[in-house]
């Protein structure tokens, strides 16, 4: 008997008992669908988080620093980071938040806040990304773009003289510029910020177009403008290391510098830590979560595999006489084994295909309603799920196939 004949016989056997075959496949269907959904959703959420890390920029060191006497600590930090050289540190910037109202013509950031209530559409369409949301407003240095992975597309970056001369200027993200100016060039135009005129000197290139709370929806002011605009006190800073290798050394040196500047906590407080550490930790947690949840879902695959073995043993009992006839006319044990393994593999393979279809739909729905992401299983996960289902059929079909091949022709022919 060749493989093609064996597959035809297996297909005929499965169709002959449709109800029993479906119930047998049910464990495989549920298991494959569950594993696919869990792994795909966890991977999708992890990939989205990694994209956000990459958009913000890699090799960043977060610095928290404040002096009890109220002195501006950034000058000390700025001078120290620049003294380390470009082979270790590329830039440093404050990360303070401004709390201001921005107006240009009929566009007003306060009015834009009402659009946040419409962020999630109620028509099943998912997240709205076309709304004009109020911009996030930051204080920065002349190295803000370097530290946060922004590149200028129009105009220029904030300059050192803008900081020192208290110039009332700003740089806008691509989404913020579009919300206020449409498709007109904003460079050279004035925004009214808390009633003060601030000239737009540059626009950052778009890098986060699909997120509702886009990183492009920002306005960056010189940190010395905080005397006019208020907002959070500036005690958080970002240092951009030259490379992944330099990040650890820069973090260690910064912590040593901060200890000296604050006199080990007597004059203030400060510490430095790497974003890379958070990213590595997040990757480890995501991998662990995927492994644990996938392992729990895989229990149903084990149950389904045992069901396959059980039904194949029943099939061997039902077809004992047929096996005896085949052995009596010269069939080899290997052909009997092949026949039953192919039948078990087809049974699981069909269950796997159905499970993949259910898992694909469940993944999309789970991504949409649980983590607000448009997630589909990757081709690798889909192929792996199908191969796993076929492998389970072969694994749990080995014992029934071996038992069938060991039947003695004379005894098998006597069976009713």
> What pLDDT shows up at residue 329?
72
Which H or E run contains 353? helix 333-369
What the block records as the tokens of 179 is: 């919300």
pLDDT tens across 117-137, in order? 665 544 445 555 556 788 999
Please give the C-alpha separations between residue 33 and each of 338, 354, 371, in angstroms, as whole numbers: 28, 8, 18
- In this structure, are 388 and 410 located in the same domain? yes
CA neighbor of 132 nearest in space, from 169, 102, 87: 102
> What pLDDT shows up at residue 8?
80
Cβ proximity of 201 and 231 under 8 Å: no
What does the alpha-carbon distance between residue 60 and residue 323 come to, in Å, rounded to a whole number? 69
Q: Structural domain tally of the chain?
A: 2
Can you give the pTM of this predicted structure?
A: 0.59
- In this structure, are 295 and 182 located in the same domain? no
- In this structure, are 230 and 355 located in the same domain? no
- Please identify every stretch of the chain with a pLDDT value under 70, giving residue numbers as ranges: 1-2, 48-58, 114-131, 210-213, 231-233, 275-283, 286, 290, 293-294, 297, 327, 330-331, 371-372, 407-416
Among 275, 307, 322, the domain boundary falls at 275
Which H or E run contains 286? helix 275-318
pLDDT tens across 275-320, in order? 666 666 666 776 777 677 667 767 777 878 888 888 888 877 777 7
> What pLDDT shows up at residue 357?
92
- In this structure, are 91 and 178 located in the same domain? yes
- In this structure, are 173 and 258 located in the same domain? yes
- In this structure, are 91 and 150 located in the same domain? yes
What does the alpha-carbon distance between residue 162 and residue 165 come to, in Å, rounded to a whole number? 5
- In this structure, are 210 and 258 located in the same domain? yes
- In this structure, are 128 and 250 located in the same domain? yes
> What pLDDT shows up at residue 124?
47
What does the alpha-carbon distance between residue 30 and residue 392 come to, in Å, rounded to a whole number? 14
DSSP codes of every residue in 222-273: EGGGHHHH--S---EEEEEESSHHHHHHHHHHHHHHHHHHTTTTTSEEEEEE
Q: Which domain holds residue 67?
A: 58-275
- In this structure, are 44 and 63 located in the same domain? no
């Amino acid at each position: 008997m060749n493989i093609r004949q064996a597959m035809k016989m297996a297909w005929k056997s499965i169709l002959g008992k449709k109800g029993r075959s479906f119930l047998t496949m049910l464990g495989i269907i549920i298991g494959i669908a569950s594993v696919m959904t869990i792994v795909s959703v966890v991977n999708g959420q992890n990939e989205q988080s990694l994209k956000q890390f990459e958009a913000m920029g890699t090799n960043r060191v977060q610095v928290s620093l404040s002096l009890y006497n109220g002195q501006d600590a950034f000058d000390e930090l700025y001078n120290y980071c620049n003294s380390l050289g470009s082979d270790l540190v590329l830039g440093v910037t404050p990360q303070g938040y401004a709390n201001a109202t921005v107006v240009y013509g009929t566009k007003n950031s306060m009015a834009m806040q009402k659009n946040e209530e419409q962020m999630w559409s109620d028509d099943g369409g998912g997240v709205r990304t076309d709304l004009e949301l109020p911009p996030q407003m930051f204080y920065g240095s002349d190295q803000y773009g370097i530290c946060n992975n922004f590149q200028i597309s129009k105009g220029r970056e904030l300059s050192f003289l803008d900081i020192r001369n208290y110039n009332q200027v700003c740089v806008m993200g691509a989404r913020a510029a579009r919300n206020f100016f449409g498709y007109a060039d904003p460079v050279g135009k004035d925004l009214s910020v808390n009633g003060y005129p601030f000239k737009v000197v540059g626009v950052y290139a778009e890098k986060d177009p699909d997120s509702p709370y886009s990183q492009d929806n920002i306005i960056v002011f010189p940190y010395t403008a905080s005397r006019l605009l208020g907002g959070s006190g500036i005690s958080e800073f970002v240092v951009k290391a030259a490379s992944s290798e330099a990040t650890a050394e820069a973090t260690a040196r910064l912590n040593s510098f901060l200890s000296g500047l604050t006199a080990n906590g007597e004059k203030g407080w400060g510490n430095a830590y790497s974003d890379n550490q958070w990213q590595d930790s997040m990757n480890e947690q995501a991998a662990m979560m995927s492994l644990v949840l996938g392992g729990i879902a895989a229990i149903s695959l084990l149950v389904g595999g045992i069901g396959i073995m059980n039904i194949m043993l029943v099939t061997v009992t039902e077809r004992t006489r047929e096996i005896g006839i085949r052995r009596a006319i010269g069939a080899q044990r290997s052909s009997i084994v092949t026949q039953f393994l192919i039948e078990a593999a087809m049974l699981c393979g069909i269950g796997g295909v159905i499970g993949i279809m259910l898992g694909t739909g469940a993944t999309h729905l789970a991504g949409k309603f649980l983590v607000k992401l448009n997630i589909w299983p990757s081709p690798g996960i889909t192929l792996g799920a199908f191969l796993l289902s076929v492998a389970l059929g072969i694994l749990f079909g080995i014992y029934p196939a071996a038992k069938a091949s060991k039947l003695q022709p004379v005894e098998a022919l006597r069976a009713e």
